Structure 1
Amino acid sequence: MISIYQLKPRFQKLLRPGVRRLAEAGVTANQVTTAAALLSVATGAVIALNPFVSSFLFLLPPVLFLRMALNAVDGMLAREHGLKSPLGQILNELGDVISDAALYLPFALIPGISPVPVVLITVLAIVSEMAGVLGTVIGGSRRYDGPMGKSDRAFVFGLLALILAFGIEAHLWVDVILSVTALLIAVNVVIRVRRGVKEAE
């Protein structure tokens, strides 16, 4: 299935010169991972505390893009510059689910949006990432399969934030989009479990 994640190698190629300079400056992968999580939590807090002020949603698309860049950077620092560590692996996985929750749960507070699909997406995103990580536990690789991975979720919520920030009111159409997103994340879980088990066997 097509996913924005498939564009990651090209994105990494663009970032590589900057990553090299960061490594030379002594920046660690764990510092980048932590910065991405803190940025996400701070942005989510601003939106959650101001759910009736649509202009704050303009923050989300650039923050989501920056978070995606930082996620790529920390991985490249770890793999290509000898900065891998057990703590880094844990921070990377925890940082992703914390950032997802921090950036997406505030949508449940926005007038006109049902909190049910927002919460469902957040829970399923955590389950999806856990399903991916468990591939390594049973002797396979970290799984990123499925049509609604981290980058795809970021695209959906970034686009929704942009539309709402321009003053378009949230109605049933938002709930439909979010419900479809939740369904596709559930598909992620099934695919990752099946392929993880098949790889391990």
Structure 2
Amino acid sequence: MKADASVYEGKRVIRRALALIPGLDRLDPNVVTVAILIPAVVAGVSLWQGWWILAAIGAAGRMVLATLDGYIAERFERRTPLGAYLNRIVTEVADAIVLLGLLGQADALWVTLAIAAAWIVNVAGVLGPVAGGSIQWTGPAGQADRLAIVLGASLVAIVWPIDWTILCGLIVVLSVITATRRVSRSVRELRA
């Protein structure tokens, strides 16, 4: 199913750029997947401390590595059963780490709701295959979308104060919309 209304579509651009980098065939996609935790920690700690440039760099790094692992696995036929698990688990943990960094800036309740909503979005996306359908990637608050929101807000915060609690609320609202879209698309697909 097409991943409309989502930053996820930008992965195609990143993949074209990655195709120009020599030596990627020597990388282990599972190691790259685990390495996603490094920029996630950089982003999370930087958000907590108010180091906006580093937060943006961490979020961008997390996005690039999340594209790189899949690119290597697919392009060089390096998929593994372990990789399927690492891809889901590590990205979930990485997302939580990034959003936990907002505890230094936003109301704890809204940060908790944003983390819970992000998890529900991700689960709603991957439940399609359990029911016999396909994974749903639609936004507007998939993993890449949330990272783009955090990245953009971090860049804005360099020059303009941000109310991070409102940003968490925005993530929650967009996540509810996204989860609803993913479930409804899955149900429609399964009925067809």
In the superposition, the TM-score normalised over structure 1's length comes to 0.84
Instruction: Give the letter for the 1:105 counterpart.
Output: L
Is this contact kept in 1: 2:120–2:179, CA < 8 A?
A: yes
2:23 match: secondary structure:
helix
C-alpha separation between the residues in 2 aligned to 1:3 and 1:34? 24
Q: CA deviation at 1:46?
A: 5.6
CA RMSD in angstroms comes to 1.9
Q: CA deviation at 1:169?
A: 4.2
C-alpha separation between the residues in 2 aligned to 1:65 and 1:165? 16
CA offsets 1:133-163 (integer angstroms, 9 cap, x no match)? 1111111111111211112211211122233
CA offsets 1:13-47 (integer angstroms, 9 cap, x no match)? 111122x5211xx2111010001123313542465
CA offsets 1:89-134 (integer angstroms, 9 cap, x no match)? 1111111111111111121222xx2222222111111111111111
Aligned to 2:118: 125
Select 1:21's aligned residue among 12, 20, 23: 23
Alignment of 1:79-158 (within 5 A): 79-110=74-105, 113-158=106-151
C-alpha separation between the residues in 2 aligned to 1:200 and 1:7? 27
Select 1:182's aligned residue among 165, 169, 172: 172
* Residue 178 to residue 45, structure 1, CA distance change in 2 (3 Å): closer
CA offsets 1:145-192 (integer angstroms, 9 cap, x no match)? 1211112211211122233344x4454xx3333312211111111111
Is this contact kept in 1: 2:52–2:157, CA < 8 A?
A: yes
2:20 match: secondary structure:
helix
C-alpha separation between the residues in 1 aligned to 2:60 and 2:19? 16
C-alpha separation between the residues in 2 aligned to 1:164 and 1:148? 20
1:17 match: secondary structure:
coil
2:132 match: secondary structure:
coil
Is this contact kept in 2: 1:117–1:178, CA < 8 A?
A: yes
Is this contact kept in 1: 2:42–2:58, CA < 8 A?
A: no
Instruction: Give the letter for the 1:37 counterpart.
Output: L
C-alpha separation between the residues in 2 aligned to 1:33 and 1:62? 18
Q: What residue ranges of structure 1 are gaps of 5+ in the alignment?
A: none
Aligned to 1:61: 56
C-alpha separation between the residues in 2 aligned to 1:131 and 1:123? 12
* Residue 14 to residue 85, structure 1, CA distance change in 2 (3 Å): same
Q: What residue ranges of structure 2 are gaps of 5+ in the alignment?
A: none
Is this contact kept in 2: 1:138–1:197, CA < 8 A?
A: no
CA offsets 1:20-78 (integer angstroms, 9 cap, x no match)? 5211xx21110100011233135424654xx3xx3x23211111111111111111111
Is this contact kept in 1: 2:156–2:162, CA < 8 A?
A: no
